[in-house]
Amino acid sequence: MKRTAALLSFAFVGLGIGPFVWHHRDVEAAREHILAGRYAEAVTALKGVDVDAPEVHLARAVGVFAQEKPDLAADATTSLDQSYRLVAEQAAVLAGQDPETRARRVALGDLRARVAFGRGLVAAQKQDWAAAVGEFRRVLELNPADEDARWNLEVAYFKQNPPCRLRDDDHEPDSTPGDAKPFDPQKAQKRVLCAADEDWYALELPAGALVQVQVKGKVTPTEDDDDTREAVLSLYAPSEPAAPHKQVPLTGGSGTLTVKRLPESGTWRFALAGPGRAEIGYDVTVTAVPPCAPAPGPDEPTPPPGTPNPGDDDAEENDTLESATPVQDGERPGLKACPGDPDYFVVTVPKDEGRSVLVKHTPEDGPLSAELVGLDGSPLSVPGPALSIPPAAEEQKVLVRVYATTDAENLYALEVKKPDGGDNQDNQDNQDNQDQQDKQDKPKPDEPSDDQNDQQPPPKPQNTNQVDPQKLIDELDKNEQNPQLQKLLKNLSAVPQMEDY
């Protein structure tokens, strides 16, 4: 038959219009109406036929479905199911190889194919593409020469498995730096990176800002399991649009790119690209935090406490004792410490319980400290990245102050939890971490002298009570609370750090 130009059109020709084995005047009249395209008249002609024959149900289904009225689809399905049932029942009892029986078997096979054809069209109307593919395949199993069924099978399979170009997102075209559109969080879900394609986005960012681009995706092979995709996430600076400022590989379709201090303002672009035939379906999230406001000059007035800082985090405004942000047990990430702009938090501690408070950060990016403070702002603890709140007979509300100790800003996470080893353990944690922080802040000598290199540390006196670490470790399973082992492990503690937020 002649096909239309529309690729996704279904062929209705061949659905139940052949000659029937069971002959009836009204059934033949319905068949003539169907051939002439008078589908409503075909249904009317069958109203007086109450014979339970597969041809009758099939003709009724064709007349109903061909009217292309969705509200009649259920009636067509019912008639097709009844016809299919009767064909199966009659085929089950056929036996023998005489000419009449063989002819009847061939006719029932033809009816079964027509029923499957109709069921495929009904499934396609419901957009149940998997069912449509199955029905049209059944037609071809019964009649491999049915070109209408072959055409419909291809259309249904195409609908069930559309190529990437038809599943691509509404951000297209975005395959070149010039096509990069401003990143829109409302259109950041269910993106598709097709094979041999690139996706570009644009971001307006100020110098000194922190930007994080997070891609969560999945690599989907297009043809076989050997399809791969070595995609990377790249960030490009305004002044160098051809050379990536930073790149990270996408592992399994996912990856995170972070730049803490952008060197320039302007239109930054990021892109997903890489060789391979596999597709990547992904969601993308962009976090952009402006830099902290510069400190006032010598002739500029100092902003009053509580003045918003454009680089602050979502815990603000918490720059005063009165505006302290409540924090619960657990970790609160994504906090930012600006120079000269302390952050205050309030921790509620149940009675007879203590709490450990940890400031997780990367000291190399900008040292931070914390301390417990009273209602008047006076310090109540030794400053450091780890604090201990001892138990009390009543519920406590304890204030914590976090601040930058230099002119460098930094990101941090605040963790509040129950002490692991008691209050004495927390006090020791605080002292140990403070000692390590002091060592990091202490300037290192440029070059050791030859005399210093020649000097050897004096030998340590032998202690007859010295503990064998390996022996303690071997006994760990026998005694989890071994105080000597705890002390040994304590000496190995380090300042908690948050690598590359």
Residue-level pLDDT at 20: 47
Residue-level pLDDT at 282: 93
Q: Which range has the top average pLDDT, 51-65, 423-437, 479-493?
A: 51-65
Residue-level pLDDT at 237: 97
Q: What percent of the chain has pLDDT above 70?
A: 72
* Of 437 and 378, more confident: 378
86 DSSP β-pair partners: none
416 DSSP β-pair partners: 330, 357
pLDDT bracket for residue 88 (50, 70, 90): confident
pLDDT bracket for residue 441 (50, 70, 90): low
Res. 338: pLDDT tops 70? yes
* Every domain range in the chain assigned CATH 2.60.120.680: 166-289
Fold designation for 325-441: Jelly Rolls (2.60.120)
* Mean pLDDT for all residues in the chain: 78
Sequence-ordered list of residues with C-beta below 8 angstroms from that of 99, at least 6 positions apart, any chain: none
**Average of per-residue pLDDT across 327-354:** 90
Residue-level pLDDT at 501: 40
* Every domain range in the chain assigned CATH 1.10.3450.40: 25-160
SS3 361: strand
pLDDT bracket for residue 12 (50, 70, 90): very low
Res. 222: pLDDT tops 60? yes
CATH superfamily, domain at 166-289: GOLD domain (2.60.120.680)
Res. 183: pLDDT tops 70? yes
Express each pLDDT in 387-421 by its tens digit. Answer: 999 999 999 999 999 999 988 888 888 999 999 86
* Every domain range in the chain assigned CATH 2.60.120.380: 325-441
What is the C-alpha to C-alpha distance for residues 434 and 84, in angstroms, rounded to an integer? 82
Residue-level pLDDT at 300: 66
Q: What are the angstrom distances between the C-alpha of 415 and each of 112, 325, 334, 419, 447?
A: 69, 14, 12, 12, 39
Express each pLDDT in 272-322 by its tens digit. Answer: 999 888 889 999 999 888 888 776 667 766 666 555 555 566 677 787 888
Q: Which range has the top average pLDDT, 181-195, 278-292, 383-397, 451-465?
A: 383-397
What is the C-alpha to C-alpha distance for residues 420 and 429, in angstroms, rounded to an integer? 11
**Average of per-residue pLDDT across 13-34:** 63
Express each pLDDT in 29-42 by its tens digit. Answer: 887 888 888 888 88
Q: Burial of 469 by CB count in 10 Å (0-12 exposed, 13-18 middle, 19+ buried)?
A: middle
Look-up of token digits 């501690």: 349
* Of 23 and 240, more confident: 240
pLDDT bracket for residue 447 (50, 70, 90): very low
pTM over 0.85: no
Fold designation for 25-160: Hyaluronidase domain-like (1.10.3450)
Q: Which of 472, 377, 466, 483 is nearest to 421 (CA)?
A: 483
* Of 295 and 331, more confident: 331
Q: Could you give the angle at the alpha carbon of 291 between the alpha carbons of 289 and 297, nearest 5°?
A: 160
What is the C-alpha to C-alpha distance for residues 137 and 235, in angstroms, rounded to an integer? 48
What is the C-alpha to C-alpha distance for residues 115 and 135, in angstroms, rounded to an integer? 9
* Of 93 and 163, more confident: 93
Q: Could you give the angle at the alpha carbon of 51 between the alpha carbons of 47 and 56, nearest 5°?
A: 65
**Average of per-residue pLDDT across 463-483:** 51
Q: Which range has the top average pLDDT, 114-128, 165-179, 241-255, 475-489?
A: 241-255
Residue 294 gets which letter from DSSP?
A: P
What is the C-alpha to C-alpha distance for residues 294 and 305, in angstroms, rounded to an integer? 15
**For the CA atoms of the chain, what is the radius of gyration?**
38
Residue-level pLDDT at 93: 79
**Average of per-residue pLDDT across 327-332:** 90
